Amino acid sequence: MRVRFWGVRGSTPAPGPKTARYGGNTPCVEIACGDETLIVDAGTGIRELGLDLTQRAAGRPVKGRLFIGHTHWDHIQGFPFFTPLYLPTTKFQIYGMHGTTKSFQEVMAGQMHSTYFPVQLKDLASKPEFIEINGPLQVGPVKVTYHFLNHPGITVGYRFEYEGKAVSYISDHEPYGGLNVKGEFSDKEDTSIAKFIAGSDLMICEAQYTADEYKIRRGWGHSTFADVLDLAQKAEVKRMALFHHDPQHDDAKLDARLVDSLALISSRRLTIQCFTAKEGQVVEL
């Protein structure tokens, strides 16, 4: 498996000199499994990925599958700029959950309504196929499973398994034990997510807030590093990529947060490897 980060920023794009090293584009991760191109989320990072896929295809049809974790703006706003979809030869399947009041396809079409964008979803020349997920999937050689997360709206995390390796994508999520009083319900839900990601070779996880920031943003659907480490420890994951960086956290702040995170890992005598995901970074598993 080859994972490439095309967008790592949470909530809203944050371009500029202060974020140039880690990147300002919103979530988009490419997971290549042999010949299969899987993509998670269509934040603004997917624009560059689209150009790259077209170049790699060198005139042949662009093929792939896009998985949307949830349809908040930062996770879908690059979709209309994913240019392979404008080519009639492109073959793409797009997976996501049924919305609260609308189908997945209707939700995705919403941001391309003529009020907001000049081209409507139905006019995309490639006619992408929209698939609502309601169970585990086998995508060629890749097993894809999902788990509901604790975030406003309907949100899922994914787990991709291929040739004995597993990558989990858990963004955006607030631990139940953080939002609610600790007890049977929170324990059960948090344990269920830990079981879902158990043994992952790589867990891509948000750790958007510091402990102080969390105090005033409780209920916003995001985690602190300590929360994520609790989960990683319980699930015995091997490697964790910090992701969905807060737009207020510039490069210097992210460097400092990694130092604190590594100190917490070593204070617990854990061997989990941890890094802060950067735009353009490639991880081979």
In sign, the C-alpha dihedral spanning 129, 82, 221, 245 is: positive
Q: Among 47, 72, 147, 222, which residue sits at the site for Zn ion (rule: CB under 5 A)?
A: 72
- Is residue 172 a contact residue for Zn ion (CB under 5 A)? yes
User: What are the backbone angles phi and psi of residue 211, rounded to the nearest 5°?
Assistant: -60, -40
**Minimum Å distance from CB 47 to Zn ion?**
17
As a whole number of angstroms, the distance between CA 36 and CA 149 comes to 26
Residue whose Cβ sits closest to Zn ion: 72
- Is residue 74 a contact residue for Zn ion (CB under 5 A)? yes
Q: Cα 110 to chain center, whole Å? A: 21
**Minimum Å distance from CB 244 to Zn ion?**
6
C-beta of 97 vs 142, nearer to Zn ion: 97
- Is residue 249 a contact residue for Zn ion (CB under 5 A)? no
Strands (E), the chain: 2-7, 28-33, 36-40, 63-67, 91-96, 129-132, 137-139, 142-148, 156-162, 165-170, 202-206, 239-243, 273-276, 282-284
154 with 99: CB under 8 angstroms? yes
Q: Among 10, 24, 157, 177, which residue sits at the site for Zn ion (rule: CB under 5 A)?
A: 10
Q: Which residues ranging from 86 to 145 are in contact with Zn ion (CB under 5 A)?
A: none
Instruction: Count the residues of the shown chain that bind Zn ion, applying the rule CB under 5 A.
Output: 4
- Is residue 147 a contact residue for Zn ion (CB under 5 A)? no
Local structure of residue 16 (DSSP, 8 states): S
Listed ranges 77-85, 96-104, 164-172, 276-284: which one lies at the site for Zn ion (CB under 5 A): 164-172
Residues that bind Zn ion (CB under 5 A): 10, 72, 74, 172
